C-alpha cells in the first residue's frame, strides 16, 4: 500500500509542478500582452486563479502526508512520549474528520454551482471548485495512512513495554 501511495504522491507533485508552470506562463502572457502589446487578455487572470486553486488543493494532501501541516509540536515534545503520541493521533483524527466533512459539503457546494459559468473562461464554476472536494478526499486518504502507521507504532511500543 505504501508503494501505491508513494506513486500517488509523485503523480500529485508532478501535476502541481505542471500547474505551477502553467500559472507562470499565464501571468507572463498577461504582463506581456498588457504592457508590451497594450491589449490585455481578459481570461488569463481567472485561468491562473483556477490553476492556483487546483495546485493548492492537490498539494494539501502531500503536505499532510509529509507533516507539513500545523501541529502541536512544542506541546507534544513537552509531554511524555506516550502522551505526545496520543496527542498527535488526536490531531490527525481531527484533520481527518474536518477533511471528510469538508469533502462532503464542498461537493454539495459544487453541485449548487453547476449552472453558473465564468463568462471569460466559458467554464462552469464547479469545474474549478471541484478542487475542494478532490483535495479534501486526498487529505482523507493520506490521513488514513498516517493513522494506520501511528496506531501500528503505538501497538508495537506497547507490546515492547509489556515484555
Give residues with Cβ within 8 angstroms of 61, minimum separation 6: 12, 135, 138, 139, 141, 142
pLDDT at 25: 95
Domain extents in the chain: 2-162
Record the pTM.
Answer: 0.82
Mean per-residue pLDDT, 57-80: 81
Q: What is the mean pLDDT of the chain?
A: 86
**What's the pLDDT band for 54 if we cut at 50, 70, 90?**
very high
pLDDT at 136: 95
What are the tens digits of pLDDT across the range 3-52?
999 899 999 999 999 999 999 999 999 999 988 888 888 888 888 999 99
pLDDT at 71: 66
Q: Measured between alpha carbons, how far is 134 from 129 in angstroms, rounded to an integer?
A: 9
Helix (H, G, I), strand (E, B) or coil at 123: strand
In this model, does residue 135 exceed pLDDT 90?
yes
Q: CA separation (Å) from 91 to 13, 48, 49, 77?
A: 25, 33, 31, 14
What are the tens digits of pLDDT across the range 105-129?
998 888 887 787 877 777 788 888 8
In this model, does residue 163 exceed pLDDT 60?
no
In this model, does residue 55 exceed pLDDT 70?
yes
Amino acid at each position: 500500500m505504501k508503494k501505491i501511495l508513494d506513486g500517488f504522491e509523485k503523480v500529485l507533485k508532478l501535476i502541481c509542478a505542471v500547474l505551477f508552470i502553467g500559472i507562470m506562463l499565464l501571468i507572463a502572457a498577461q504582463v506581456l500582452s498588457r504592457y508590451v502589446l497594450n491589449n490585455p487578455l481578459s481570461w488569463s487572470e481567472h485561468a491562473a486563479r483556477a490553476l492556483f486553486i487546483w495546485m493548492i488543493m492537490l498539494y494539501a494532501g502531500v503536505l499532510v502526508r509529509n507533516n507539513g501541516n500545523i501541529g502541536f509540536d512544542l506541546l507534544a515534545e513537552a509531554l511524555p512520549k506516550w502522551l505526545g503520541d496520543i496527542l498527535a493521533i488526536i490531531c490527525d483524527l481531527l484533520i481527518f474528520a474536518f477533511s471528510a466533512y469538508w469533502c462532503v459539503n464542498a461537493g454539495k457546494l459544487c453541485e449548487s454551482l453547476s449552472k453558473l459559468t465564468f463568462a471569460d473562461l466559458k467554464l462552469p464554476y464547479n469545474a474549478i471548485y471541484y478542487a475542494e472536494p478532490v483535495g479534501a478526499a486526498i487529505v482523507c486518504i493520506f490521513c488514513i495512512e498516517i493513522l494506520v502507521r501511528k496506531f501500528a507504532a503505538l501497538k508495537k511500543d506497547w507490546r515492547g513495554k509489556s515484555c
